[in-house]
Chains A and B, each alone.
Chain A
Amino acid sequence: MTTSVDATTFNSGMVTDPLADQNDSAPPSAWRAVLRQTAMVAGIVALIAIALLALLAPWLTSYDPYSGDLTQRYLPPVWHSAGTWEHVFGTDGQGRDYFCRLLYGARISLIIGVSTTLISGLIGTSLGVLAGYFGGKVDALITFIITTRLSMPVTLVAAVVASLMGSSLHTVIAVLGLLLWDRFAVVSRSAVQELRSLEYVTAARALGCSNLRVIFTQILPNVSQFLLVVLTIEMAHAILLESALSFLGLGVQPPLPSWGLMIAEGKSQMLFKPWLITIPGVCLFVLIMAISLVGDGLRDMSARKSTR
């Protein structure tokens, strides 16, 4: 290891491998492997289903997510004794079809998840790869940036900045994208540090490949499996944070049907009409669960690959 003294100055507890706590060092067992694989498949199926529902929303429902019939307010869902098939999940306080709003709400969660992780993944991976590949002063500087970022409480900072910039879908994406890159940076940094000293990287350098070429052809393809795992973690994180911000009134604004916002709107009626908050909450739970199951499966796969 050629890490300089500068870099190890920051061997703080924060900048260790953030996936370490999730490593499954249990001896492999047949049922666990099968279970994990089944869980991953279930996660993938659920994700595809949610994405399809979100995409095909206009064809799946004939209602408008933004305007409702005020004579049809707070209708109960179909499993309720007074429910009808006309409004499967009932209606909200403005008479808007709840199922319809959920479908369009899935779009918001997915947009948040994908665009936030694209931004944060780009920032974090660039920083992490640079730090790991060049080491020395570059590493010291980037490690310092990571440490600083970790010292700022995400939820609090996101809430303050989003509200000051004017809460909207775009603001939330920008703020979360600029905040949630730390794990990408930490993971790619430590992965690249290990790769850098491997023979084929040295060989590529000896052949006269430029740094950029080595990074893109030798390093990145071998880091991608770890980054994919981080991607799922941060996607789930971003979706949960968006829902929380919107719930607090600091994220996506009405009349957009964000699931967090729907829970906030149903809160005043939650004792007598609990489905208003139960249904969007379950949707969030299922989406996050699906993403984490895929992430867990990917992690298992990359762990098995590296032990082989």
Chain B
Amino acid sequence: MWQYTLRRLLVSVMVAFTVSVITFSLLRMAGDPAVALAGEGASMADIERIRVEYNLDRPALEAYWDWVTKALQGNFGRSFNLNADVSQLIAERLPVTFYLSSLALLFALGLSLPLGILAGLKPNSLIDRIALTISVVGQAMPTFWFGLILMIWVGLRWGLLPISGNEGFASYVMPAIVLGYYVTPVLLRLTRAGIIDAMSSDYIRTARAKGIGMTAVVFRHALRNAMIPVVSLAAVQFGFLLGGSIIVESVFSVNGIGLLAWQAIQRSDFDVMQAVVLVASAVYILLTFLADLLNAMLNPRLRTGLQ
């Protein structure tokens, strides 16, 4: 187990390093940030001043090293527009996005686990058809549009929930549903497939033959095995939600890192963009690392490298 953990950790660090290089170079290659930062109608002197201030006059390698060492110490530079340290902005906004993503995942699991289990136990039944419809519709629904439709009906017409902001639990309900429904289809299908697989396996047949009741079999044996991939997928999806939050947070004006990123993009706030991409990737890498460890603990075959 230790060997596996170490090996996996090494890979994660290498991936994180590569991501930081890519993030850095992507943003440099995509245009002259000094010109974008200076805004329209800036003089050459202005652009030159910004170039020096943002280390853009230095060789790329040197500038990268400077950026990444500072980032590792928690210094992501400064936001011009919001006049604050980027690290402080991220520290303020990240908990909001975490909270939203957790609620979204809770909603997704709350919908997909019971439905997936029931659908898996009775394939081709009415409940299976309902589950199928929910997942097909979820796949085809544009998130931002679903958000607007909820806003019109639940928020404005019926006045049940606030339509924007992040004051209190109620304002998180609609964004969480929209974000959560986005990941529901994958979780639902995986749960259903897992249950069908488990129920047709030998150990379930043995358990049933011993005379153990259906409920006990499902809860004690089938679920345990079917849940392993779902748990690790859920962890991965959580990281995915962080990246997807840019859409939902912009629609509902939830003040998390997604909205921060969107505002930064609109105002060419360079340091913020870099930092948000890096932080979101880092969270994803950490989560998949933990999910893999959990998987390896639950499934010893993975540890030995035999897939």
* Minimum distance in angstroms from A80 CB to a CB of chain B: 16
Task: Flag whether A161 is at the interface (Cβ < 8 A).
Answer: yes
A205 at the interface (CB under 8 A from B): no
Closest to A32 in B: B124
Shortest Cβ distance from B88 into chain A, in angstroms? 20
Report the interface size for chain B: residues with CB under 8 A from the other chain. Answer: 74
The closest CB in chain B to the CB of A291 belongs to B140
Interface-forming stretch among A17-25, A68-76, A92-100, A218-226? Answer: A17-25
B261 touches A159 (CB 8 A): yes
Other-chain contact of B305, A5, A247, A284 (Cβ < 8 Å) = A5
B265-307 at interface with A (beta carbon < 8 Å): 265-266, 268, 273, 276-277, 280-281, 284-285, 288, 291-292, 295, 302, 305-307
Which residues of A are found within 8 Å of B137, using beta-carbon distances?
A: 289
How close is A57's CB to chain B, nearest CB, in angstroms?
22
Q: How far is the CA of A12 from the CA of B265 in the complex (A)?
A: 32
Chain B residues within an 8 Å CB radius of A25 = 193, 196-197
Q: Which partner residue on chain B sits nearest A271 by CB separation?
A: B156
Q: Secondary structure of the B side of the interface?
A: helix
Report yes or no: B144 in contact with A244, Cβ–Cβ below 8 A: yes
A11 located at the interface, meaning its Cβ lies under 8 Å from any Cβ of chain B in the complex = yes
Partner of A244, one of B143, B239, B280: B143
Q: When the two chains form their complex, are residues B233 and A21 in contact, meaning their CB atoms are under 8 A apart? A: yes
Task: Give 5 closest A-B pairs by Cβ, nearest first.
Answer: A153-B243, A164-B30, A26-B123, A281-B145, A288-B140
18 more A-B contacts (CB under 8 A) besides A21-B189, A26-B124, A155-B244? Answer: A11-B302, A11-B307, A12-B292, A14-B236, A21-B229, A24-B193, A25-B196, A31-B124, A32-B124, A144-B11, A144-B14, A144-B18, A163-B265, A267-B148, A285-B141, A285-B145, A289-B136, A293-B136
> Can you give 23 A-B contacts (C-beta < 8 A)?
A11-B305, A20-B229, A21-B233, A26-B123, A26-B196, A31-B124, A32-B124, A144-B11, A148-B22, A151-B16, A152-B23, A152-B281, A155-B243, A155-B247, A160-B273, A160-B277, A161-B26, A164-B268, A164-B273, A247-B247, A277-B152, A278-B149, A289-B136
Q: Which A residues are closer than 8 A to B by beta carbons?
A: 3, 5, 8-14, 20-27, 29, 31-32, 144, 147-148, 150-157, 159-161, 163-166, 236, 240, 243-244, 247-250, 260, 263, 267, 270-271, 274, 277-278, 281, 284-285, 288-289, 292-293, 296
